[in-house]
Amino acid sequence: MAQVVWAANRGRPVGEGATLSLTAAAGLVLRDADGSLVWSADGSSGEAVAGLTITRSGNLVLLDGNNASVWRSFDHPTDCLVPGQILAEGMVLTPNISTTNFTANDQLHITVRDAGLYAYAGSSPPQLYYPDHTTGNPPFAETKPKYGSSYIAFINGSLISSFNSSSTVSAGDVLIDLAPPRSLQYMRFETDGHLRLYEWQNGWAVVQDVLGAGDCAYPTVCGQYGLCNNGQCSCPSEDNSNLAYFRPVDNRRINLGCMPVTPISCASMQDHKLLALSNVSYFNYVDADLPQMIDEESCKKACLRNCSCKAAFFQYFGNNTSQGSCYLPTQVFSLQVNQLEVTHYSSSAYLKVQITQPSPSPRRPSPSNSNGVVNRSTPTGKRRIVAGAIAGFTVAGVSLLAAIITRLVVSWRRYQHRDDDDEFGEVPGMTTRFTFEQLKVATRQFSKLLGKGGFGSVFEGQIGEHRVAVKQLDRAGQGKKEFLAEVETIGNIHHINLVRLIRFCAEKSQRLLVYEYMSKGSLDNWIYFRDANRPLDWQTRCRIITDIAKGLAYLHEECRQRIAHLDIKPQNILLDDNFSAKLSDFGLSKMIDRDMSQVVTRMRGTPGYLAPEWLTSQITEKVDIYSFGVVVMEIISGRKNLDYSQPQENVHLISILQEKARNDQLEDLIGMNGDEMQIHKEELIQMMKLAMWCLQIDYNKRPQMSVVVKVLEAKATKEQPYQ
């Protein structure tokens, strides 16, 4: 069955008798049966159109007399991408309203910026729902690339991201791996917010949900104000109350959303209140107009003061509501029940509702005339005049004090900034410095992005005959702390399983670190099974696990101060030419004095790899051992710990492991890994038991990494402590 992958006149269908004509002067012209112009395409600079062709990839192209392209349908995408197609900055994908109505649904769109793919729900401003920014990580900067344009290309079974100033596809970084193509494929952005990959298999079948979020994470899954819980929709209601503030738009189709029983009126803001919903989260917490860390009460008050605000969403960690992320949307899409064991953060939703006040009782007349002016002759009026004078002097005094404080703060910041370079020059054991200009040249103006994470972006560079990885920290205010941590720790430690810091740069607000280059990239590019594409054999996977353990053992037990990495995950484990593994990204590390059993720190790391004790913020290096256990299971199973492409009961790998262990069915986990893994069945089961030893809820029962290394190198006794 043929599929429509591009439409010229999405919002204006034509009737029977419509005509499509090609002329040199007007180009390609579509007219309705009555002769009215519906759509046209011609040369971008007024060139005469000499011909039309459709390429093998499906690109409709208008040509001039020299067979040069003057217009291409690929430059005007609708809701689909086909192999070979580019989505560049300035282009958007918008879904159809339905499968039979090709009119664009402007509530949703996908676009490209900073060589990344971004999906938004409508409203002003648009609300980001992909990538997921609800995990406490810093939002990406709202900036355009410094050089050329960024684009996403659908080629070779992947979505490739790159920067380029021309329309020619160049080599880039794999942004999203797709199901390997066995036959024809195309991608469609659909009205439910999903970007789905279709493949011909005796009919068109969905082979991948590209954005990968769980159903409840999509903004339209339950309509506006609808509450999603494990795929089921309902309207929000107040706890322990019979009052209904929301009702379904359609009682027979609850997934269409909910609406306020009483519309919100800006004429009576005193009758607004916030309906509290505990343990309810939203798909977005990014608000550039609010401080990044704010307390819960301030978040709620900010919404009540602004009539355009329809809700206050507050995200925080543990029980600390004095610091969190606040989001105040002007339009509310689907809500979701927060699953703490998955998200590792707490959240509350406060929906603005209109309450109906009883009729006011007769009141004593106020001391003012009919024009609302205060009557100065009354005692009350005189008291108000005196109070007003006192208030005036108070305001003047406060203003003067504020001006003095502001001047002092500005002066102090200038002084602090002036001495900034001197401060970095005095850090003991610091490696050689680069200038910012030298690193701009080495990275070719930071043109090749290797990846993002740990408060910064990493670029490929060339210094002399050596390739290097240059990490540029994002915001100077937060990056300075991470910068000092990395320089002071990595600059003074050397181990074969730790990425080596070569040099650094500290000029004004610029903070950069220069690392050795790891040619095979990060571990996540190699360990996940994708059909028959399994590049790492079992022995290589075992060696990588041992390398990770050795690197962690050195940090935890062999340094002058114990160092907790705090963000162990495949993306922070890099591979060299020989697939030897090295730990990277110490921007989140924490040094622990030998005489301290634990430290208190703010929550950090990546959901899916966080130890349970993060919820209390009482952490030791044992959080790394838990994360190590998760990574071990990902390496031997070939899948991610949190995989939302799986059925709901199989999303969480560690939960599956625990269930299989309880039922003595660990062998079931080997079946998914193919014939080669069956050969090493006994080793696999032993490795799973080692992972479970590291994954114990009580961190005191987890082993030290040095013991794990001995087990992996078969230096421990046969009676392993985890058996």
Binding residues: 471
Which positions ≥6 away from 243 have C-beta within 8 Å? Answer: none
CA-nearest of 96, 70, 72, 94 to 84 is 72
Structure tokens at 67: 């067979």
> Which H helix or E strand runs over 405?
helix 379-418
DSSP structure class, residue 556: I
CB contact at 8 A, 608 and 630: yes
Q: Spell out the alpha helix ranges (H) of 85-205.
A: none
Q: What is the dihedral of CA 617, 622, 626, 629, to 10 degrees?
A: 170
Q: 622-637 vs 681-694: helix axis angle to the nearest 10? A: 150
- β-partners of residue 619 are 599
- β-partners of residue 325 are 315
CA-nearest of 188, 227, 228, 230 to 205 is 188
Which positions ≥6 away from 631 have C-beta within 8 Å? Answer: 523, 548, 568, 569, 570, 573, 609
Distance (Å, whole) CA 300 – CA 499: 45
Distance (Å, whole) CA 710 – CA 19: 77
Cis peptide leading into 570, omega within 30 of 0?
A: no
Give every strand in the sheet of 185-189, ordered side by side. Answer: 80-81, 185-189, 195-200, 204-209
CB contact at 8 A, 511 and 483: yes
Structure tokens at 115: 């060589």
Structure tokens at 45: 């600079």
Active-site position among 567, 593, 595, 624:
567
Instruction: Compute the radius of gyration of the chain from its Cα atoms.
Output: 30
CA-nearest of 361, 356, 207, 192 to 270 is 356
> Which H helix or E strand runs over 30?
strand 27-31
CA-nearest of 1, 11, 7, 4 to 20 is 7
Q: What share of the chain is helix, strand, coil (3-state, %, to 5)?
A: 25, 25, 45
Which positions ≥6 away from 151 have C-beta within 8 Å? Answer: 86, 87, 88, 89, 112, 115, 161, 162, 163, 164
Annotated active-site residue 567? The verdict is yes
Structure tokens at 208: 């991948």
Q: What backbone torsions phi and psi does residue 469 show, to the nearest 5 degrees?
A: -115, 120
Cα 75 to Cα 44, 62, 71, 476: the distances in Å are 12, 12, 8, 37
Q: Give the count of beta carbons closer than 10 Å to the beta carbon of residue 683.
A: 14
- β-partners of residue 530 are 533
- Grouping H, G, I as helix, E, B as strand and the rest as coil, residue 7 is coil
Structure tokens at 431: 């490696």
Structure tokens at 361: 């009782």
Q: What backbone torsions phi and psi does residue 458 show, to the nearest 5 degrees?
A: -115, 130
- Grouping H, G, I as helix, E, B as strand and the rest as coil, residue 199 is strand
Q: Spell out the alpha helix ranges (H) of 433-475.
A: 436-442
Q: Give the count of beta carbons closer than 10 Å to the beta carbon of residue 45.
A: 7
Residue ranges of the binding site for ATP: 471
Distance (Å, whole) CA 225 – CA 281: 12
Cα 191 to Cα 101, 249, 251, 411, 647: the distances in Å are 11, 18, 21, 54, 22
Active site residues: 567
